Structure 1
C-alpha cells in the first residue's frame, strides 16, 4: 500500500536539541538511529506535520530516586517537581522557539512553521512538513500574560497550561498508576484569564496533563473545541494521565479531538514502561477512542522523543505499520485518512478559523 501522510499531535524533538545544541545539525538533518525523529526519517515515514513542543525540564535533584525504574514496577506515585517561575524558564523557552525557527531555515524548504490554516493546507498540498509551535506547560508565560503576546507573534498557536508540575495557571496530574485524573483543584484566576486570552488569539488549548477540575474549568470557559493532543483512554489503562469516558464525551460534544499517545505507560493495562507490548494495547486504546469520540475526533499524538514507545512502532518510521494494523482491523481507507491527517486539519480550522 502507498504511504499515508500523517499529522502528529505531539513531539519533544526540541528538547533533544536543547540538550545537545552542539549536535543540532546532525540530529536534525542526518538520518540516525537515536531518538524518534530527524528530517530524513520524517520524510521517509510520511510525516506531514505536527506540534513541536516547547517544554522546560525540571532541574535534576541530587539523590532523587530512579523514576524510570519506578514506572516499570507499578504501582507508583511519583512526586511532582516544584513550580517554576517565568524568570526561571523564559530564556529556555525563547531558545527552543528559536530552535524551531532554525529548523525551518536549515531544512531548505522541507519544513515550514504554520500559523494559519491556509499555511497548513498549502504545506500538505506541496508535501512540506507543517510545524506548529506548541508550549507544553506555560511556565514561561507570567501571570500578566505579556509574554503570551510575544510568543504568539513568534508563531505560538497551541498551549497547554500545565505539564504535570503546577504552574501559576493550574495543576497537572501526577504520574500515578493506578489512579484517575481527579487529583486536585482547578484553574487559578490567572489560568481562567489565560483561557480567555488564548481564545481571543485563537491559540489552541491543550488539555493533556491537566487535572480533571482544570479540564472542567476550561470546558466551561472556552469557546473553542476541547483538545488533548497526546492522551489515551482511562477505561483501558487506569493512569492519571488518561481521559475518562466522561471527559471523552465532553470533547466529542465540543467538536474537539484526542491524539493517541504511543507512550507505553499510558497504553499497557499494567501501567508498565516496558516496550515489549505488541500491538494489542495500542489498538485497544484506538478502538476505544473511536467508539467514544466518533470517527471525526481521533488522531495520532505520538509523544515522539518524549516517551518510551512500543517496539512495534520504534520511531517515526513505524507509523505506517500502525496504519497497516488499522487496515487489518477493518478500518477503511476513509477512516484511516481521517485519523492519520484530516481530523487534525479540520480541528485546526475549527479552532483557528479559516
Structure 2
C-alpha cells in the first residue's frame, strides 16, 4: 500500500444541506447520495474512491445564500453577518435534515454512529461512519429540551454558533483581514448549553465562534478544545482562523483542530479561488503541527460548504492531499493520526468512553 493511502474520518461536511436543497427542488436525496451526483463534493461513490469513510455531517439551517463581499482594491472584505433565524422555522428545517440522515442510515448508504467502536467497525468494512453534528444551535430552545431530543436521535457534536449570533453566543464574520476577537462570547444560555453537552457527552465545536466565546468555553468545558474546521490565523488572517494563542490553548487541553479546505482560509490573500495549490494546505498543516504537535491536528474539509482547491475537486480527490503531505515528510503514523486517530481519541473522551475500542 502506498505510504499516503489512508482511510479518512473528516471533521466537517455539509452534504445534508446539499441533499436537503436537492429535495426542495423535487429530487430524491437518497438516489442523489447513493448513485452519485454531478454537483457538490460528497456522495457514496466519490467518498469510496477517495477513501473518505466517515465524518461529521452537519445539520445546518441556512439563512439565505452566503455570498462573500467583493474585495476592495487592497483585497480586503467584510461580509455582513447573516440575520438571526426564527427558532420554530429552524427546528422544522433541522428535523428535515435529520430525516435525510436517518433515511440514509436505513437505506444502508451510511451508518449513524454513536461510539468509536461503531466508527471503527463501519470504516473497517469500507462503509461511511456518519456522526451527526449541529452547526449553529438556532433549532434548540433556551431550556435545552430539544437538545435531549436530538441527542436521542444520534446528535453527538454541536457548534453553539455559526457565523451569526443566536441566543447562545456570537459568531465571527467572513472577513479579511480581521481578528477573531471581534465581539462578545457566550450568553448565559450558552454557558448552560456547554454544561449540558459535557453532561450528555456531546462534542463542543468552536468553529465560527468569537475569540471571547472560545475562551468562555475553555474555562467552562471539561472536554478537550475542538475546532472542527479552521486554520492558522498567522498564515491567513481571516476572522474564522485561530490565533497562535488559541492554538496553544488547544494543545494544552490535548484537543484538536481540523484543517479547513476552504480556499479563503488557506490562501495568504484570503480570496475565494479554486486555483489554490495544495502547498497552501500543507503549509497550514505544518504550522498547526509545529504549534500543537501531531496529536492535535486532523482534517475538517467543509466539503459541500465551501470552495476548495481544484487539485482536490471533491471527496474522490481526498488522497491527493495525503500524497502532498507524504511528499513533504509526513510518515504513515503521522498520516494515520491526522486522517482519523486524533478524531477518534477526542470522541472517546467527549463521549465518556474509557478508551477508543480498536477492532
Write the distance in 2 (CA, Å) between the matches of 1:72 and 1:353: 48
Q: What secondary structure, in the 3-state scheme, does the structure 1 residue paired with 2:10 have?
A: strand
Match of 1:263 in 2: 262
**Matching of residues 107-146 of structure 1 within 5 Å:** 108=108, 110-146=109-145
**Larger CA deviation: 278-287 vs 255-264:** 278-287
8 Å CA contact 1:71, 1:265 repeated in 2: no
Match of 1:10 in 2: 12
Q: How many residues in Structure 1 have an aligned counterpart in Structure 2? A: 347
Match of 2:99 in 1: 98
| TM-score normalized with structure 2 length | 0.94
Q: Deviations over 1:137-159 (max 9, x none)?
A: 00000111110000000000000
User: Cα–Cα, structure 1 residues 75 and 329, in superposed 2: closer, same or farther, change >3 Å?
Assistant: same
| TM-score normalized with structure 1 length | 0.95
Q: In the TM superposition, what is the alpha-carbon distance from 1:127 to its structure 2 partner? A: 2.6
Q: What secondary structure, in the 3-state scheme, does the structure 1 residue paired with 2:219 have?
A: helix
* Regions of 4+ moved over 4 Å: none
8 Å CA contact 1:71, 1:271 repeated in 2: no
Write the distance in 1 (CA, Å) between the matches of 2:72 and 2:90: 30
8 Å CA contact 1:71, 1:273 repeated in 2: no
User: Cα–Cα, structure 1 residues 25 and 125, in superposed 2: closer, same or farther, change >3 Å?
Assistant: closer
Write the distance in 2 (CA, Å) between the matches of 1:5 and 1:99: 25
8 Å CA contact 1:262, 1:309 repeated in 2: yes
What is the Cα-based RMSD across aligned positions, in Å?
Answer: 1.5
Q: In the TM superposition, what is the alpha-carbon distance from 1:123 to its structure 2 partner? A: 1.7
**Larger CA deviation: 264-273 vs 18-27:** 18-27
Tell me if 1:217 matches 2:216: yes
Write the distance in 1 (CA, Å) between the matches of 2:72 and 2:88: 35
Q: In the TM superposition, what is the alpha-carbon distance from 1:353 to its structure 2 partner? A: 2.2
Match of 1:154 in 2: 153
8 Å CA contact 1:31, 1:41 repeated in 2: yes
Write the distance in 1 (CA, Å) between the matches of 2:115 and 2:277: 37
8 Å CA contact 2:274, 2:309 repeated in 1: yes
Match of 1:63 in 2: none
Q: In the TM superposition, what is the alpha-carbon distance from 1:278 to its structure 2 partner? A: 1.1
Match of 2:356 in 1: none
Write the distance in 2 (CA, Å) between the matches of 1:137 and 1:72: 29
User: Cα–Cα, structure 1 residues 30 and 213, in superposed 2: closer, same or farther, change >3 Å?
Assistant: same
8 Å CA contact 2:79, 2:175 repeated in 1: yes
Q: In the TM superposition, what is the alpha-carbon distance from 1:71 to its structure 2 partner? A: 5.8
